[in-house]
Amino acid sequence: MAAGALAYAYQYLYESQLTETSAGSQLRLATCGGAQPNPYFFDGQFQRPRRAADLLLCLYQVVQSRFYIPPAMLARILREADPVVTSDGERLRFEAFSSCCSTYGRVDFLPEALSCAPHNRGTTNVDFNPPMRAAIARIRDSDEVGLRVGADAVEIERSGEAIVERKVNLPVRWLKGFVEVQAYASRMQPRLETTGAELRRFLQSVPRGRSGRAPGWVIPAGRGLRLSRREDRNGVRLGGTERLGILEPLARHARALRVYVADNDEVSDWEVTLDEARFHLVMTPDASRGFSGEGQALQHLAGGDWQDMLPRVKAELNWQGRIDAEAIAGKLRIDVETVRATLAVLGSRGLVGYDTDVGAFFHRVLPFDLSLTEKLQPRLKNARRLVESDGVRLVQREPVEAYVQGTGVEHRVRAEDGELRCTCRWFSKHQGKRGPCKHILAVQIALDAKGG
C-alpha cells in the first residue's frame, strides 16, 4: 500500500460506452463491486437526454479536476476514481470527488428523469472512461437515449466478453472525504436561493484562474447573487471560486439554485434544481483544503455510546432514498434523537449519506473496505495511544475538565458552552472548525471507557 493510497482493482464485465442501436443510442454503464460482484440496477431511457448528459458531464468534470496541487504532489498525481452509484428502487444517485478532495459532486436522477423504476437496490462503482465521456457530449434532446446500469445475468452468460480490470491507487483522502461530507451536510440549512436565470448571470461574473482563488463572500444582490471581498453574515464564504465553473453547463437547465451552510462552518452545498434531477456541488471554503483532513466524523468514530444501538438501527436500512427516523424510532421503541444520532454514527462509517434537499439521511454502503477508513485517521490513532499510555488525567466529569499529556507539556481540556476546548496549538488555530484535536478525542474516549 502506497502512502496516502490503497491498491484497488476495478473489475468490469465490459467498458462503459454509448452504442447505437436500431431503437436509438444506449448508454451502457458497467458496474463493479457492491453487495453483488457486478450488480444490475437499471434498463430504461432518459426522459430528457441532453439534460441527463450535462449532469453526467458535470460529475465527470468533478472527477477529473484538481483545483489545488501541493508542490510535493506534482510528480505523483493519482488517477481519478470511478463514481459511486446508488439505486434506492426509485432514483439513481451518482457521487464522486475531485482528485484534490476539495470538491464533491452528486447527481440525483429522480423518478421523473427515468422511463421506469430501477430493477434493484444497492451501491456500486461505474466505469467512467474518457471515450464514453466524449460520446455523451454529442447527445441531443432529440435523440432517443437508453440507459443501462450493469448487465443482467442472461446477457452476462451469452456475451462472452472478458472482464475489464483496471488497477488504481485509490486515494485514502477520497474515501475519508465521503465520510466527512455527510457529517457537514447533516448540520446544514439553506442560506441563499435564486432562480436559474440569476444563476447564469452570477456565474458569468465569477472570476477564474488565479484571480478566482482568492477567498470571497457570495451575498444576496436583489433577486440574484454577487461576489464580495467583505465578510457578510448573510452570505457564504468561498475561496477557489473557479470551482463554480462546474455548474455552468447546468445553468441553462436550472430552475433554481439553493446554497446550504451550517452555523460556524464554511463548507457549502450548492444545489442546482432541475425539474427531474438535482446536482449538488459541495465545497470546502478553500481549494487547498480537502475534506479528508476535516475530522468532522472523528467524534463519532471515537465514541462507543451507540455500540448497542448500531446493529438495531442498521438492520432497518434497505437502501432507502429517505430514511424516516421517526418510523424507525417507533418500531424500535426508542426516541427519535437517539435514532438520528445513531444514523450520524453510521454515516461516520460510510453507511449512510445525507440529502440536504429533503433534510434526511439516505442509505448506501460504499463499495470499499471502510474498516481502513478508521485505521487511517492519524488523530484518532494518536488519541487512542494517549489513553492506552495513561496520558489522560480526568479532574472532573461535570463540567468536563481534564489534562492530556503533550510534548513536554500538559494540555487542558474543558467544557465551555457545551463544547470541549483545548489549549493545544491545533485547537487554537482551527477552533473546532476542522474537527476535534487528538487531546479532546482522548478525553472523550477516556470518559466513554469510564461510563462518563
> Rounded mean pLDDT of 195-212?
87
Confidence tier at 86 by pLDDT (50, 70, 90) = very high
Q: What is the grid cell recorded at 270?
A: 450548492
> Rounded mean pLDDT of 316-331?
94
Which residue reads 452545498 in cell numbers? 269
**pLDDT at residue 292, as a whole number:** 62
Instruction: List the single range of 91-95, 105-109, 230-234, 290-294 with lowest mean pLDDT.
Output: 290-294
In the chain, pLDDT over 90 holds for what percent of residues? 46
**pLDDT at residue 142, as a whole number:** 84
Condensed to tens digits (0 to 9), the pLDDT of residues 110-158 reads: 999 999 999 999 999 999 888 888 889 888 888 888 999 998 754 444 3
Task: Give dist(CA 4, CA 41) in Å, integer.
Answer: 32
> Rounded mean pLDDT of 63-87?
66
**pLDDT at residue 215, as a whole number:** 80
> Rounded mean pLDDT of 261-284?
92
Q: Under 8 Å CB-to-CB from 395, ≥6 apart: which residues? A: 401, 402, 403
Confidence tier at 74 by pLDDT (50, 70, 90) = very low
> Rounded mean pLDDT of 236-259?
94
> Rounded mean pLDDT of 405-419?
89
For residues 218 and 206, the answer to whether their CB atoms sit within 8 Å is no
Structural domains of the chain, ranges and CATH numbers in brackets: 5-183 (no CATH), 298-372 (1.10.10.10), 377-449 (no CATH)
Task: Write down the pTM of the prediction.
Answer: 0.83
Condensed to tens digits (0 to 9), the pLDDT of residues 159-174 reads: 344 567 777 767 677 7
Q: Mean pLDDT, the chain, as a whole number? A: 84
Tally of residues, the chain: 452
Task: Give dist(CA 363, CA 318) in Å, integer.
Answer: 7
In the chain the first and final C-alpha atoms are separated, in Å, by 38
More confident residue, 418 or 199: 199
What does residue 275 show for φ and ψ, rounded to 5 degrees?
-60, -35
Confidence tier at 422 by pLDDT (50, 70, 90) = very high
Confidence tier at 75 by pLDDT (50, 70, 90) = very low
Most confident of 104-113, 136-145, 301-310, 405-414: 104-113
Q: What is the grid cell recorded at 110?
A: 429522480
**pLDDT at residue 140, as a whole number:** 87
Confidence tier at 304 by pLDDT (50, 70, 90) = low
Confidence tier at 247 by pLDDT (50, 70, 90) = very high
In the chain, pLDDT over 70 holds for what percent of residues? 85
For residues 202 and 224, the answer to whether their CB atoms sit within 8 Å is yes
Burial class of residue 450 (count of CB atoms within 10 Å of its CB; 0-12, 13-18, 19+):
exposed
DSSP, residue by residue, 331-393: HHTS-HHHHHHHHHHHHHTTSEEEETTTTEEEE---SS-THHHHHT-HHHHHHHHHHHTT-EE
More confident residue, 340 or 116: 116
Task: Give dist(CA 203, CA 270) in Å, integer.
Answer: 13
> Rounded mean pLDDT of 208-234?
85
**pLDDT at residue 159, as a whole number:** 39
More confident residue, 74 or 372: 372
Task: Give dist(CA 342, CA 63) in Å, integer.
Answer: 31
Cis amide linkage into residue 399, ω under 30° from 0:
yes
Which residue reads 476539495 in cell numbers? 102
**pLDDT at residue 447, as a whole number:** 86
Of 159, 407, 179, give the one whose Cα is nearest residue 292: 179
Can you name the residues that pair with 331 across neighbouring β-strands? none
Buried b (16+ CB within 10 A) or exposed e, 282-319: bbbbbbebbbbbbbbbbbbbbbeebeebbeebbebbeb
Q: Under 8 Å CB-to-CB from 271, ≥6 apart: which residues? A: 257, 258, 259, 260, 278, 279, 280, 281, 356, 357
DSSP letter, residue 204: H
